[in-house]
Structure 1
Amino acid sequence: MHLRGNAKRLILGLALVALPLTLFGCGKATSSTSSSSSAGYSPKQLTVEFVPSQNASTLEAKAKPLEGLLKKQLGIPVKVSVSTDYNTIVEAMGSKKVDVGFLPPDAYVLAHKQYHDKVLLQAERYGLKEPNDQSTKELVDYYRSQILVRKDSGIKSIKDLKGKKIAVQDTTSTAGWIYPAVEMLERGVNINKDGIKTVQVKGHDQGVLSVYNKNTDAAFVFQGARNIVKKDAPDIMSKVVPIYTTNKIPNDTITVRGDMNAKWQKKVAAAFKAIAKTKQGHAIISSVYGHESYTDSKDSNFDIIRQYDKKAAQLNK
């Protein structure tokens, strides 16, 4: 009996020693779980950057009023600016200088691959129909690229582009390079090897005008880009025409830096959706990029872009 009593006291003592350790371990686990749910970057000032789909200074003037609207939604200061090109904004987000980027599809894919940036939203636009890019009443989450030429140029098909001069955007531009170049290659014309000279311009409006002014023979632009220059060139629809329209391209994204926490991701997404529904906010996003509204997005929506990127690599082989 005496040995059994000592044994009981020993077991009880060990249990009392172990109890604080167990509780400490539980407390640590609970604390870790709690912190992980709110882990990540919480902005004190939100920096938002656009890529130039048109003249950069004009675009910035149009986009600046978003600062006040976003500040009202988010409760923190907001700075809006325009990047010089697609690569610059990707690098700025990767180096944590920019929190939110209006990224076209290919730039988003690059940002996700290099820095794990996260797509929140895709733009919705009214669909367009040829020949004069008339707007339909259907909201769509895709757009297309076109190859434009002057109507009096004699260029009627992709094969006629051999030996010509083409205005293009940055090589990470989906509509301004990737899609038209890949679909040209699929039809037997390599933009890098068939005597074609490319001229990089900043903004799809500049691509349209380069053709209109006979500075280039053709231009890669998003469908609807001619509408941007109607005020400066009222006869643009009759003088500059598409000879080719590509397959569907996923619409532009609103993307955030990869370390932004889930709470702020939701706040940013909700803010842009809300702004798009206001009269002033809708006017801004419509004038900047032709956006009508925003819908939730996910990374797999852009797998088609990754397929085109692989095909684009064949241009240099």
Structure 2
Amino acid sequence: MKFFKKAAIVASCLLCAVSLAACGNSKGSKDSDTYTPKELTVQFVPSSNATTIEAKAKPLEKLLKKELGIPVKVSVSTDYNTIVEAMGSKKVDVGFLPPDAYVLAHKQNNAKAILQAERKQVVGEDEHEGDKNVDYYRSQILVRKDSGIKDLDDLKGKKIAVQDTTSTAGWIFPAVEMYKHGVNINKNGIKTAQVKGHDQGVLSVYNKNTDAAFVFQSARGLVKKDAPDVYDKVVPIYETKKIPNDTITVRGDMNGKWQKKISKAFKDVAKTKKGHEIISSVYSHEGYTDSKDSNFDVIREYGKTAEKLDK
């Protein structure tokens, strides 16, 4: 009998413990956005020379500190994966993530895209800016005008400069759309050369180190100062469908009030003369608009197709 009494007591205690845990989990599910930063760490990804980006972005520290009332530390990651991992390990609070890196961060760590960048609409092959701000962009496949490469089929057996495989414009969209047109970047005798920064992609074609490059639309403008004839020598043979613009993403446990506060701070800073100069020089951003996760379903769709490239 003593055994059964003890067993009953243990069972009762376990039941209480489970009930309390359930209550705790229920509360946690509602209040999971619990992190309140005392110092905000903001990290950029290197779309061009990382050292140059950090120098340009550093002044954001003072502007954001003024808006948020806490110290802000700005840095540049080595690549897209590094910043996703840093946000997951809670070493970085806010990341300037391209769409595919955001999707990965959301899947792995429940990171939240609070803003999407707006850029000037790119018009014409000379890529001049239109009057309209848009929350999307496109990727291009560039070749030298004198290369003899006229269409996607001509890329078979060629060497292509690409970005990291998580890069939307520097890998996924052009590779997937090539695949949809019957050209597999992992087959068909194609070689790839990973470069760091879309400017380096343009220069690799310009300098004849590669036959083609995957870059974001208007990337040629990044090297125009060093290569004034780049628009004459390097031309696009293909342009992808619309890609959602870069995000400003916060770590998954960021306090809801702070999400709104950070969102407002970036919007307000972008409207100031100094703030606009910074975001424009770093990423060609004109400002920011509210975002939501469903905006990036197209990225998930392309990601699934990208998995077929190895099959």
Does TM, scored on the shorter chain, surpass 0.5?
Answer: yes
Do the aligned partners of 1:48 and 1:78 also contact (CA within 8 Å) in 2?
A: yes
* One-letter amino acid of the structure 1 residue matched with residue 226 of structure 2: D
Do the aligned partners of 2:33 and 2:252 also contact (CA within 8 Å) in 1?
A: no
* One-letter amino acid of the structure 2 residue matched with residue 228 of structure 1: L
1:218 aligns with 2:212: yes
Which of 226, 241, 244 is the equivalent residue of 2:238?
Answer: 244
Deviations 1:151-182 (A, max 9, x none): 11110000000010000000000000000000
* Partner SS for 1:159: helix
Which of 66, 80, 84 is the equivalent residue of 1:86?
Answer: 80
CA distance in 2, matches of 1:37, 1:98: 21
Kindly state the Cα deviation for residue 132 of structure 1 after the two structures are TM-superposed.
1.0
1:74 aligned residue: 68
* One-letter amino acid of the structure 1 residue matched with residue 36 of structure 2: S
Which of 150, 153, 159 is the equivalent residue of 2:147?
Answer: 153
* Partner SS for 1:42: coil
Consecutive aligned runs of 4 or more in structure 1 exceeding 3 Å deviation: 35-39
Identity in percent: 77
* Partner SS for 1:315: helix
Do the aligned partners of 2:138 and 2:169 also contact (CA within 8 Å) in 1?
A: yes
1:101 aligned residue: 95
* Partner SS for 1:54: coil
Kindly state the Cα deviation for residue 37 of structure 1 after the two structures are TM-superposed.
5.9
1:278 aligns with 2:272: yes
* Partner SS for 2:35: coil
1:114 aligns with 2:108: yes
* One-letter amino acid of the structure 1 residue matched with residue 258 of structure 2: W
* One-letter amino acid of the structure 1 residue matched with residue 95 of structure 2: G
CA distance in 2, matches of 1:148, 1:38: 45
Kindly state the Cα deviation for residue 300 of structure 1 after the two structures are TM-superposed.
0.3
CA distance in 1, matches of 2:218, 2:181: 24
Matches within 5 A, 1:225-240: 225-240=219-234
Kindly state the Cα deviation for residue 129 of structure 1 after the two structures are TM-superposed.
1.7
* Partner SS for 1:163: coil
* One-letter amino acid of the structure 2 residue matched with residue 268 of structure 1: I
Structure 1 gaps of 5+ residues are 1-28
2:177 aligned residue: 183
Matches within 5 A, 1:1-317: 40-317=34-311
CA distance in 1, matches of 2:30, 2:302: 36
Do the aligned partners of 1:38 and 1:263 also contact (CA within 8 Å) in 2?
A: no
- Select between 176-185 and 125-134 the one with higher mean Cα deviation: 125-134
CA distance in 2, matches of 1:297, 1:89: 20
2:9 aligned residue: none
* One-letter amino acid of the structure 1 residue matched with residue 34 of structure 2: G
Q: What is the CA RMSD across the aligned residues, in angstroms?
A: 1.6
CA distance in 2, matches of 1:205, 1:294: 24
* TM-score, normalised relative to structure 2: 0.90
* One-letter amino acid of the structure 2 residue matched with residue 225 of structure 1: A
CA distance in 1, matches of 2:175, 2:281: 28
Deviations 1:83-119 (A, max 9, x none): 1000000000000000000000000000000000000
Kindly state the Cα deviation for residue 130 of structure 1 after the two structures are TM-superposed.
2.4
CA distance in 1, matches of 2:77, 2:296: 22
* TM-score, normalised relative to structure 1: 0.88
* Partner SS for 1:209: helix
Deviations 1:179-201 (A, max 9, x none): 00000000010000110100000
Do the aligned partners of 1:169 and 1:202 also contact (CA within 8 Å) in 2?
A: yes
CA distance in 1, matches of 2:80, 2:129: 27
Kindly state the Cα deviation for residue 150 of structure 1 after the two structures are TM-superposed.
0.5
Deviations 1:268-290 (A, max 9, x none): 00000000000000000001000
Q: How many residues align?
A: 287
Deviations 1:116-167 (A, max 9, x none): 0000000001110221111100111000000000111110000000010000
Do the aligned partners of 1:185 and 1:191 also contact (CA within 8 Å) in 2?
A: yes
